[in-house]
Amino acid sequence: MDDPIQFFGQSYTQMHTIGRTELEDLQRRAMSIRFHQHHQSIEMLRKLADRLGITELIEFNDVVPLMFSHTAFKSYPPMLIDKKRFDLMTKWLDKLTSYDLSSVDAQGCKSIDDWIDLLDEQTPLQVITSSGTTGTISILPKDKHGALDGMVLWKICLFQTFGQEPTDEELNPNVDVIWPNFASGKLGHLRIAQMIKQGFTGGDESKFHPLYPGSVETDLMFLASKMRAAASRGELDRLEIDPALAARKDEFIAMQLRQPQDLDAFFVKLAETLKGKRVFMTSAYPQMYEIAEAGLKRGVTNVFAKDSAILTGGGMKGVALPPDFMRIITEFLGVDKIQEGYGFSESSTFHWACGEGRYHVMPWVIPFILDPDTSEPLPRTGRQTGRAAVYDILLRAHWGGVISGDEVTIDWDLQCPCGRSSVAFEKDIIRYSEKHGVDDDRITCAATQEVQNEAIDFMKGLEL
């Protein structure tokens, strides 16, 4: 629970060949220990457990009443941000994290970014935010230690071959990182950019290749999303807008409008400077397809080394791609395969797809399928479809039990033909918000990237 990397010998194969009975016994004991630690250190969990009379966790389902909805991480009064009361925001966040924030003086902070930078400097936290689709941003108290471990685990899962013990080259891959977005920011997908740069290149700037070297301001993104929410309620005229943010709007929109051309030029350059090199890149399928199609039209193929690691997730985001889109992408990139993954940042763990298309659950995460209406746990037998929930034993900075907004399926009795012993989420995953046509606010690479673009599109037609 504190060092799964060494427990499993840095081996992806060992992580997914441990027997289920043995694993479940370890998970129950670890869940019990972590609950007692967090009951003492996280006020919001302690109050919930005491109100429910829960003093210990023995069986898996015991944790379900204590699971937070992802909305717990935006349960502060929104006016605190509008009034720049980051001293009170700190007190709110202190109730959600195991770290003591009482010594942090945030009274001088003038923006969300100022506040998070202060937390970065003075605490073990590495806070990430959502885009604020619903008009209020989620704020998640991640920690720096978890970010470092997370990138080690990404390398283990991306570069190792299941069924074989890792080689030194797989444990220490030498890659350039391609990041077709802004280089930094506090949004979920932009925080990951900095984690990847540190974890995959050791912080070597020459091996990190972002589309834009700058940062996306959290406050500007929050304003855009808040404006969308107010407009949908017919209340845009009542919104108080910071003049400093309004002045930044046109500059940011202009950059976003240039992005298709900038992205094309970015890959023209990389196709020359990184030709034949081993790289790591993560992007959604639609963006990868646009890049690949443009490259093939110029006669460019097999740009990178075959053993490069290309990661995607989040589905098609409503974009209809041609039937042969995968051939076009792989022909341009020149890679053997594209790795898919599934996760949500409230849990922090990514689950990696096997050759059968299933997302195998990492061994320190206990998955649940809940009834979407009652949130009662469905049986851990047979094929079950419902709302995804997890308890992530690895999390130390905040409580690891969270109910997602996703509809998922697990066949608990299945032994996957891929050879992995772990249970797995089936490939077809959909957000309940998409199913029912309502807004949702989640912290995932794909979701925050999508909302970033939608929010800016909305601002284009408004005078501030």
Q: Which of 98-102, 360-364, 447-451 has the lowest mean pLDDT?
A: 447-451
Q: Give the pLDDT band (50/70/90) at residue 345.
A: confident
Token look-up 């949908």 returns 232
> In the predicted model, what is the mean pLDDT of residues 400-411?
94
Q: Are 202 and 257 in contact (CB under 8 A)?
A: no
pLDDT band at residue 452 under the 50/70/90 scheme: very low
Contact 410, 378 (CB under 8 A): no
Look up the CATH superfamily of 4-459: ANL, N-terminal domain (3.40.50.12780)
Q: If DSSP codes are grouped into helix, strand and coil, which group holds residue 402?
A: strand
Contact indicator for 273, 178 with CB cutoff of 8 Å:
no
The more confident residue out of 7 and 234 is 7
Which residues touch 38 (CB under 8 Å, ≥6 apart)? 45, 98, 399, 400
Q: Percent of the chain having pLDDT more than 90?
A: 64
> What is the residue-averaged pLDDT of the chain?
88
Say how far apart CA 21 and CA 317 lie, in whole Å.
38
Domain residue spans of the chain: 4-459
Query: Does the pLDDT of residue 78 top 50, yes or no?
Result: yes
Strand 176-185 relative to strand 208-216: parallel, antiparallel, unpaired?
A: parallel
The predicted pLDDT at position 446 comes to: 39
pLDDT tens string 387-398: 999 999 999 999
What is the C-alpha to C-alpha distance for residues 212 and 310, in angstroms, rounded to an integer?
A: 20
Is the model more confident about 344 or about 408?
408
Query: Is the C-alpha dihedral spanning 176, 180, 186, 191 positive or negative?
Result: negative
Angle between helices 325-333 and 285-297 (to 10 degrees): 70
* Residue range 98-150, pLDDT digits in tens: 999 999 999 999 999 999 999 999 999 999 987 666 667 889 999 999 999 99
The three-state secondary structure class of 339 is strand
Q: Please choose, from the candidates 408, 402, 410, the residue with its C-alpha nearest in 3D space to the C-alpha of residue 432.
A: 408
